């Protein structure tokens, strides 16, 4: 699977460093050419000689060393790699990466490389949970660094929790997956999903039946296609995909603000959320009492997120979702035109077997030039088809 691929394995100074030997062996077994960089601390945990024997190459470690630079210098190593895998990645090295520190060979190579970087963090559960580490991790993910693990389980120190390095097989699989054909590789994709909630008073709100399943499936499919995904989600009861940056919002206005910010520098925006068209004109600051026989709520129009995103981003590839109960194609086409979308996905939410809260969907993919019917199937499969369509369209435009 990894034939002729060049994998640069960074090993940092954690107890899981002994497992790196097995990872290097497996990568070689899959046909990869492997070079190893060890931090100073890593060499306290496992001998460079072991890694040299297993990788078939001298281990790199020193940054300021004339002999090492004369061999394969840090910039050369950075250019050599198709993928950089850091396993284990210590809390310390994660912090260094976040700041862009270059006082070690591995730090310098990370900064200089254009290769995709994967890290397999491994540390004590309290260190993993710490605010500083979590902030660092989210910064790195936003930058496109891909996380593998960590896992939950018993730890070398006797604790139990999240922080164990992912299984070697999972790490090697994640590396292999990088070489699948990734149609949205390195594209920045922003996706909205789920419903929004508009408050009536402190305890009540208006919402809709969106489960978020379609938008979340779109996020998964885009991640698999190699995109860096920001998922802006309304309140849902499903778990977030891994390897993407999630922003949780409640109201349509919050979703609009988060979308506008996330779209800076983005390539694709997919509006799969069921955004409330209206919100209460006034939100009661106190719970409305059950005294009057009837009450009247006045609503005012919410901002149209897709229209505003188009206004602010002329070149963004913009995909809308339209939940319709009648004249599906006609209404879809009207939205496509009026909101200046590149494409729209329409579905019939009047049907009980597809659409809202269902695991399946049946949709039309509509562009200015064509309409394609996608047969009823699992939302994950529909999402894969839609992401493939988006990738094809982007290639056709560029
Ligand atoms: C016995 C021992 C085990 C350690 N295990 C870990 C670990 O699993 N994860 C971690 O983040 N740090 C661990 N540390 C702390 C790191 O070794 C320390 O932060 C070091 O500076 C890391 O250097 P590096 O990131 O440059 O490799 C351990 C330290 C000791 C003494």
How confident is the model at residue 128, as a pLDDT? 97
Fold of 188-397: Rossmann fold (3.40.50)
Please check the confidence at residue 228 and state whether its pLDDT lies above 90: yes
The total number of residues shown for the chain amounts to 398
Residue nearest atom 4 in ligand 1 by C-alpha distance: 14
Tell me: the pLDDT tens digits for 4-25? 899 999 999 999 999 999 999 9
Nearest-atom number in ligand 1 for the CA of 127 is 11
How many angstroms does the Cα of residue 136 sit away from the middle of ligand 1?
A: 17
How far is C-alpha 315 from the chain's CA centre?
A: 22
What is the share, in percent, of the chain residues with pLDDT greater than 90? 79
pLDDT score at 354: 63
Pocket test for ligand 1, best of 37, 92, 98, 128 (most atoms within 8 A of CB): 92
**Domain spanning 6-177: CATH 1.50.10.20:** no
Does residue 349 surpass a pLDDT of 90? Answer: no
Say how far apart CA 186 and CA 147 lie, in whole Å.
15
Lining residues, ligand 1, CB within 6 Å: 12-16, 39, 41-42, 90-93, 122-123, 127
Residue of 147 and 324 predicted with greater confidence:
147
Q: Pick the residue whose CA is nearest to atom 10 on ligand 1.
A: 90
Q: Ligand 1 atom closest to Cα of 89?
A: 11
pLDDT at 274 exceeding the cut of 70: yes
For CATH 3.40.50.10300, list the domain ranges present in the chain. Answer: 188-397
What three-state secondary structure class fits 97?
helix
Nearest CA to ligand 1 atom 6: 14
> Band of the pLDDT at 280, cuts 50, 70, 90?
very high
- Name which residue leads in pLDDT, 240 or 397: 240
Name 203's Cβ contacts closer than 8 Å, sequence gap at least 6. Answer: 287
Query: Is the predicted pLDDT of residue 271 greater than 70, yes or no?
Result: yes
Residue nearest to ligand 1 atom 15, measured at CA: 14
What pLDDT, on the 0 to 100 scale, is given for residue 358?
79
Task: Supply the Cα-derived Rg of the chain in whole angstroms.
Answer: 25
Q: Which atom of ligand 1 is nearest to the CA of 44?
A: 17
**Residue 357's pLDDT is what?**
67
Distance 44 CA to ligand 1 centre (A): 10
Q: Is the dihedral of CA 306, 307, 313, 315 positive or negative?
A: positive
Other beta carbons less than 10 A from residue 202's beta carbon = 12
Rounded to whole angstroms, the Cα distance separating 227 from 299 reads 38
Pair 194, 211: CB distance under 8 Å: yes
Tokens, residue 4:
């002729």
pLDDT band at 55 (very low <50, low <70, confident <90, very high): very high
| pLDDT tens digit sequence for 68-98 | 777 778 899 999 999 999 999 999 999 999 9
Q: What are phi and psi of 339, to 5 degrees?
A: -95, 5
Please say if 244 is a catalytic residue. no
Residue nearest to atom 7 of ligand 1 (CA): 14
Task: Give the mutation target among 12, 14, 103 for probing the ligand 1 site: most ligand atoms within 8 A of CB.
Answer: 14
In the chain, where does the domain assigned CATH 3.40.50.1950 lie? Answer: 6-177
Q: What is the distance in A from the centroid of ligand 1 to the CA of 37? A: 16
Q: How confident is the model at residue 361 (pLDDT cuts 50, 70, 90)?
A: confident
Average pLDDT, the chain: 93
pLDDT of 351 strictly over 90: no
Residue identifier of the C-alpha nearest atom 29 of ligand 1 = 14
Q: Is the pLDDT of residue 355 over 70?
A: no
Could you report the per-residue pLDDT of 101-141, keeping only the tens digit for each?
Answer: 999 999 999 999 999 999 999 999 999 999 999 999 999 98
Tens digits of residue pLDDT in 207-226: 999 999 999 999 999 998 98
Pick the catalytic residue from 157, 244, 263, 280: 157
pLDDT of residue 6: 95
Predicted local confidence at residue 266, as pLDDT: 97
Separation of CA 13 and ligand 1 centre (Å): 5
Q: Reply yes or no on whether the pLDDT at 397 is more than 80.
A: no
Ligand 1 atom with the smallest distance to the CA of 42 is 27
Read off the DSSP letter of residue 14.
S
Ligand 1 centroid distance, CA of 41 (Å): 7
pTM value is 0.56
Residues 119 and 94: beta-carbon distance below 8 Å:
yes
Least confident of 123-127, 179-183, 235-239: 179-183
Label residue 350 by pLDDT band (50, 70, 90). Answer: confident
């Amino acid at each position: 699977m990894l034939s002729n691929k060049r994998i640069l394995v960074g090993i940092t100074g954690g107890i899981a460093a002994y497992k790196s030997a097995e990872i290097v062996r497996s990568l070689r077994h899959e046909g990869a050419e492997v070079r190893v960089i060890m931090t100073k601390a890593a060499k306290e945990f496992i001998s460079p000689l072991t890694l040299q024997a297993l990788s078939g190459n001298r281990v790199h470690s020193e940054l300021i060393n004339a002999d090492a630079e004369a061999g394969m210098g840090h910039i050369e190593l950075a250019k050599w790699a198709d993928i950089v895998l850091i396993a284990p990645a210590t809390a310390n090295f994660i912090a260094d990466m976040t700041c862009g520190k270059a006082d070690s060979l591995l730090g310098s190579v990370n900064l200089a490389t254009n290769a995709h970087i994967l890290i397999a963090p491994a540390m004590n559960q309290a260190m993993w949970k710490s605010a500083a580490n979590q902030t660092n991790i989210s910064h790195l993910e936003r930058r496109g660094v891909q996380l593998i693990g960590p896992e939950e389980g018993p730890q070398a120190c006797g604790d139990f929790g999240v922080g164990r390095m992912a299984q070697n097989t999972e790490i090697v699989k994640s590396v292999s997956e990088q070489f699948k054909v990734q149609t949205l590789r390195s594209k920045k994709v922003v996706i909205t999903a789920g419903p929004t909630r508009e408050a009536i008073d402190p305890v009540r709100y208006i919402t809709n039946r969106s489960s978020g399943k379609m938008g979340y499936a779109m996020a998964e499919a885009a991640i698999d296609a190699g995109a860096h995904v920001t998922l802006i989600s309304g309140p849902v009861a499903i778990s977030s995909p891994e390897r993407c940056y999630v922003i949780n919002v409640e109201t349509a206005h919050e979703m609009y603000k988060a979308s506008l910010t996330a779209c800076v520098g983005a390539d694709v925006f997919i509006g799969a959320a069921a955004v409330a068209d209206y919100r209460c004109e006034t939100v009661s600051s106190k719970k409305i009492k059950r005294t009057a026989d009837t009450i009247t709520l006045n609503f005012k129009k919410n901002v149209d997120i897709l229209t505003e995103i188009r206004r602010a981003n002329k070149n963004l590839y913009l995909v809308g979702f339209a939940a319709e109960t009648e004249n599906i194609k006609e209404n879809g086409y009207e939205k496509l035109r009026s909101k200046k979308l590149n494409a729209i996905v329409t579905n019939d939410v009047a049907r009980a077997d597809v659409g809202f809260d269902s695991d399946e969907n049946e949709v039309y993919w509509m562009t200015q030039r064509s309409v394609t019917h996608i047969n009823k199937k699992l939302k994950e499969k529909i999402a894969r088809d839609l992401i493939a369509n988006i990738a094809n369209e982007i290639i056709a435009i560029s």
